[in-house]
A and B are shown apart, each in its own frame.
Chain A
Amino acid sequence: MLTGVLMPRDYSPDGRNVSPPLTWRGLPEGTRQIAVLCQDHGAGRPPPWVHWIIYNIPGNATGLPEGVPFDPSERMPDEIAGATQGNNGWGLPMYRGPAPPGTSLHHYHFAVFALDTELDLPPGLTRDELLEAIEGHVIGLGSMVPLYQRQPSGNGPQFPS
């Protein structure tokens, strides 16, 4: 998954709809915690439409593995122990991938925030609540903007009934 490139369908409801693997490097010195946000500025009333919010990620993490559990009772992988998910645009504390209407092409902004403190944020924060909570603590920001477009109508799957 890269900026300006169509993301694989497995990160959308056209596939398994699992959260994509992310890696980052060059975190500023003094990074104690990390938060990640994925949003579509071309959707939502008002925009953006939030696809994913995850925070309380340990400051020594180098990324997120593919398929972060969406069931809150399931343990987070060891390398991101303590990570917590906020509520996306559907009000669900999990990753839900892009399903842009029709055949429109949308941009998905992944933002990685490096924080200078260890916040113990509760699950289910909205985008605004997260941004408010991390205000004044952001010492670094990275981003990536992959694209997604669904298959043209009429080319959908055909299965024997």
Chain B
Amino acid sequence: MNDDDAREKNDSSVISRRDLLRTAGAAGAAALVPHSIAAAAPAEAIEAGAAALPGPSIATAPAPTGPLMNLTARETEILSAMVDRLIPSDELGPGALEAGALRFIDRALSEAESDSAGAYRSGLAALDRYSHYSRGAAFVELSATDQDSVLIDLQTGGATGANVGFVGSSGSFFNMVKSHTWQGTFGDPHYGGNVDFIGWDLIGYPGVRLQVSEEDQRALEADELTPVRRSAYDYATFRADQ
């Protein structure tokens, strides 16, 4: 994919995401959980300029379970292993799988990223063929080190010439999955990833704030600022349906 294609794709996904909000807000409301209301203490909410909060959070619905909508069991297994290596659960905290990136991607494949469904299908099959060809086993059966090595080969394009069925460069497939994994881990929980704000906690993001007081700034510099764990769409300002 060249830069123009990438830009065009990004633009179109932004538009479709905005369209999505209108329906997602309504659908999300059905899945409200009580703990989301208590996620931020009242005092904290005021500090964060959240006086205009539109009621309960739509961000922290429990992660759905059960089979994925757009990926087969085999594809799910391979993508799950890949996502797990991109942001593994380790001493720094939970990783992309715990943050719900897998389900975020699956959902996106029938929504904003529906154009990418074919690329996932062919890319995951090629990844598995490449693992067999170069490392002698299915991707999910490899050690973490070998999985990382395989993914680096994808990233650097080394898997491209192995004739295992990557469409274009293996690097394009790698970058697509990496980008979606990042979105599903660090994006606003409103979109279905970043479950329990795992991604924001990982990077120490202080949270969406409409106002930042002097005390907040001092606390941030002293690394003592209590993060706001609330979706941007819990603020009236950012709600698409307002």
Residues of A within 8 A of B (CB): 12-18, 70-71, 90, 92, 94, 96-97, 99-102, 150-151, 153-157, 159, 161
Which of A13, A100, A154 meets B153, CB within 8 Å? A13
Smallest beta-carbon distance A89→chain B, Å: 9
Smallest beta-carbon distance A27→chain B, Å: 31
Per DSSP, chain A at the interface is: loop
Complex CA–CA separation, A101 to B158 (angstroms): 9
Cβ-based interface call for B226 (8 A)? no
Which of B128, B155, B156, B163 meets A156, CB within 8 Å? B163
Which of A17, A102, A157, A159 meets B158, CB within 8 Å? A17
Which of A15, A92, A153, A159 meets B152, CB within 8 Å? A92
Cβ contacts A to B, 17 pairs, < 8 Å:
A13-B156, A13-B162, A14-B133, A16-B146, A70-B148, A70-B152, A90-B156, A92-B152, A96-B152, A96-B158, A100-B161, A153-B163, A154-B163, A157-B163, A159-B128, A159-B129, A161-B125
Q: Decide: A157 near B159, CB < 8 A? Known: A14-B133, A17-B153, A70-B152.
A: no
Smallest beta-carbon distance A128→chain B, Å: 20
Smallest beta-carbon distance B141→chain A, Å: 14
Complex CA–CA separation, A37 to B155 (angstroms): 22
Complex CA–CA separation, A159 to B137 (angstroms): 11
Q: Is the CB of A156 within 8 A of B164?
A: yes
B1-39: contact bitstring with A at CB < 8 Å (1 yes, 0 no)?
000000000000000000000000000000000000000
Q: Which residue in chain A gives the minimum CB-CB distance to B74?
A: A161
Residues of B within 8 A of A14 (CB): 133-134, 162
Q: Decide: A157 near B152, CB < 8 A? Known: A13-B158, A14-B162.
A: no
Smallest beta-carbon distance B130→chain A, Å: 8
Smallest beta-carbon distance A159→chain B, Å: 5
Q: Decide: A71 near B148, CB < 8 A? Known: A16-B135, A90-B156, A99-B158.
A: yes
Residues of B within 8 A of A157 (CB): 129, 132-133, 162-164
Cβ-based interface call for B179 (8 A)? no
Smallest beta-carbon distance A106→chain B, Å: 12
B131-146: contact bitstring with A at CB < 8 Å (1 yes, 0 no)?
0111100000000011
Q: Which residue in chain A gives the minimum CB-CB distance to B156?
A: A90
Smallest beta-carbon distance A150→chain B, Å: 5
Cβ-based interface call for B157 (8 A)? yes
Complex CA–CA separation, A161 to B129 (angstroms): 9
Complex CA–CA separation, A120 to B44 (angstroms): 49
Q: Decide: A101 near B161, CB < 8 A? Known: A17-B149, A71-B145, A92-B152.
A: yes
Residues of B within 8 A of A101 (CB): 161
Residues of B within 8 A of A71 (CB): 145, 148
- Extra contacts, 18 of them, besides A13-B158, A156-B133, A159-B128 (Cβ < 8 A), are A12-B158, A13-B153, A14-B133, A14-B162, A16-B149, A17-B149, A17-B152, A71-B148, A90-B155, A90-B156, A92-B152, A94-B152, A96-B158, A99-B158, A151-B163, A156-B163, A157-B132, A157-B164
